[in-house]
Structure 1
């Protein structure tokens, strides 16, 4: 069975919606997705570090449309692991675990890898929204489209726009 590595933030959890929500509440600024294209999270939002260190930020993030159903299917056909960086923002460790338990309860604790660097991760396929995580990976790589990566050529990575495309590619 092939090992599939799936990122959380920006792939399963809609953190861009969280950033927009927090910025609207904090500063009264409403940004549409088009205004974010080509900008990193830090370039797009004024108080990124404050928001990600606010209790509830990760716990209350919306689920990406279609992800639960497709992940349920992927879990039947792959050796599936959720791998998410969680050490940089200490509050995120517990909140990410709780979020995954709430929305993806069909996954067991052994499938959840909350780590620092993803450079130690190996497998056959990786689905992530950041080049920094995909570029070092030796297997097949799927780049999940997010505003911060939209202006970049995917290069050796296969771009997927949403969970319907993930389903077409992997199932």
Structure 2
């Protein structure tokens, strides 16, 4: 590491900065009058708890224009990421290539909610092959080839995983990194 370089942090978007699950819960309640609670998801993916007659709708909704544009912001993320930005080189690393409108929606979302993050520090990708010192992500698949410090951001689907350093919220990220 160069003596003049700040440590680099790569931060995932979905279920870390943006509350994708809350949006799914709202969608299924409004469009299908189906109530889903976070407790139903303990250790499971969202698709696993959908009633069989709705299983095909998840992919449809995630491919709609605007889905990623209107996600709620995770509580505390804006303030903590702004503070991290002062201390570290912060990069947003999001798998934005899989869904048709994801890339544009995510860029617009970031520009609105995190305007202090430069476009030069946004990495939209498929696989997260990154040169960073710390990664904050909810998906352990992104840690497989990552050599730095791994912080697993708690999400219902990863509650049964105990092999990584965990952060449950942005207050805990601040305690560990600021």
Shorter chain as denominator, the TM-score bin is over 0.9
Q: Deviations over 1:103-129 (max 9, x none)?
A: 0001111011111111x2121000000
Q: TM-score, normalised by structure 1?
A: 0.95
The structure 1 segments of at least 4 consecutive aligned residues displaced by more than 3 Å after TM superposition are none
Shift of 1:69: 0.2
2: CA distance between counterparts of 1:35 and 1:94?
Answer: 31
The yes-or-no answer on 1:7 pairing with 2:12 is yes
Cα distance, 1:133 vs. partner? 0.6
Q: Which has the larger radius of gyration?
A: 2
Q: CA deviation at 1:32?
A: 1.2
**Match 1:126 to one of 131, 135, 147:** 135
Q: Displacement of 1:132 after TM fit?
A: 0.5
Separation in 2 of the partners of 1:83 and 1:100?
11
Query: What CA distance in whole angstroms lies between the structure 2 residues aligned with 1:106 and 1:55?
Result: 25
TM-score, reference length from structure 2: 0.91
Q: 1:107 matched to which residue of 2?
A: 117
Unaligned 5+ runs, structure 2: 1-5
3-state DSSP of counterpart to 2:9: strand
- Structure 2 residue 165 is matched with structure 1 residue 169: no
What does residue 137 of structure 1 align with?
Answer: 146
Cα deviation code 1:69-125 (max 9, x no counterpart): 00000001111100000111020000000000000001111011111111x212100
CA distance in 2, matches of 1:169, 1:102: 27
The reply on whether 1:160 has 2:167 as its aligned counterpart is yes
Structure-1 residue corresponding to 2:3: none
Counterpart Cα distance in 2 of 1:38 and 1:29: 20
Query: Which range moved further: 50-59 or 64-73?
Result: 50-59
| Aligned counterpart, 2:46 | 41
Question: Would you say how many aligned residue pairs link Structure 1 and Structure 2?
Answer: 168
Could you tell me which runs of 5 or more consecutive residues in structure 1 were left unpaired when the two chains were aligned.
none
1:41: how far off? 2.7
